[in-house]
Amino acid sequence: MEEREVSKNMKTTAIIAAYNEEKTIGPILDVLRESPLVDQIVVVSDGSTDRTVEIARSKGAEVVELLHNVGKGGALYRGLEYIRSDVVLLLDADLIGLNPKHVASLIEPVLQGEADVAIGVFEEGRLATDLAQKIAPFLSGQRAIRTDILQNIPDMEVARYGVEVAINRYVRRNGVRVKLVKLPGLTHVMKEEKLGLVRGLRERVKMYWEIFKNLYRRVDGDRR
């Protein structure tokens, strides 16, 4: 992909897809509001039944409230309808330890024209989450990406947990410039902690299955 001239007037929208994340969404939004690099915050509640929507609105975020759960990819796809920016910051809704330096580390490479996509990798957070991202850094949900690229991702609305795979496929096939950035001290709530051991494991298996399906999903341009 050709290098583009970067405008000093480029704006950034943070989009967070959230499903029952009342315990973590508030602190994340507080950090985003502190950042001078974030011009708009959109929270897409993916069928939440807890206080996620109430808390997000109280923090000044624009809230898109979906009545039924459509999965992460579908929620992010709906969020794109509301953005008014050149760059999109994607963050998970269950992060722990987010700070303004993490936000800047993700956004600045794109704003400054060093990359079209910046992907954040956990470091020095917790062993389990650090290890998972060292093994598969390109599955990280923390990334900044040019809006025009994100809007062209095929099948994003049906990707569910496989949305990062869908983005990665497009990036690889179109020569999009990618930069990995370290996010020291950042981690997230694991599914087993959030839902309990049995439900958490079931949800983890579901997540891996949806990622696997998207790895082998055929889209336009695939060989038949």
Asked if pLDDT for residue 177 goes beyond 90, the answer is yes
CA 109 to chain centre: 16
Asked if pLDDT for residue 11 goes beyond 70, the answer is yes
More confident residue, 202 or 56: 56
- Core vs surface per residue 30-47: b (16+ CB within 10 A) or e: ebbeebebbbbbbbbbbb
pLDDT band at 192; cut points 50, 70, 90: low
For 59-107, what is each residue's pLDDT tens digit?
999 999 999 999 899 999 999 999 989 999 999 999 999 999 999 999 9
Residue 14: both structure tokens together: 């943070």
Residue 108: both structure tokens together: 């600045």
Q: Which residues contact 32 (CB under 8 A, 6 or more apart)?
A: 14, 38, 41, 91, 103
Asked if pLDDT for residue 207 goes beyond 80, the answer is no
Residue 136: both structure tokens together: 């598969």
CA dihedral 55, 72, 147, 89 (to 10 degrees): 50
Look at residue 3 in the predicted model and tell me its pLDDT: 46
Give the DSSP letter of residue 24. T
CA nearest neighbour of 45 among 87, 83, 23, 15: 15
Distances (CA, A) of 77 to 38, 74, 109: 19, 5, 23
For 22-50, what is each residue's pLDDT tens digit?
999 999 999 999 999 999 999 999 999 99
Amino acid at 189: V
Q: What is the mean pLDDT of the chain?
A: 83
What share of the chain in percent tops pLDDT 70?
A: 73
For 112-142, what is each residue's pLDDT tens digit?
999 999 999 988 555 555 455 555 556 788 9
Q: Which residues contact 206 (CB under 8 A, 6 or more apart)?
A: 161
Q: Which residue has the tokens 């989009």?
A: 15
Look at residue 221 in the predicted model and tell me its pLDDT: 45
28 within 8 A of 98, measured Cβ to Cβ: yes
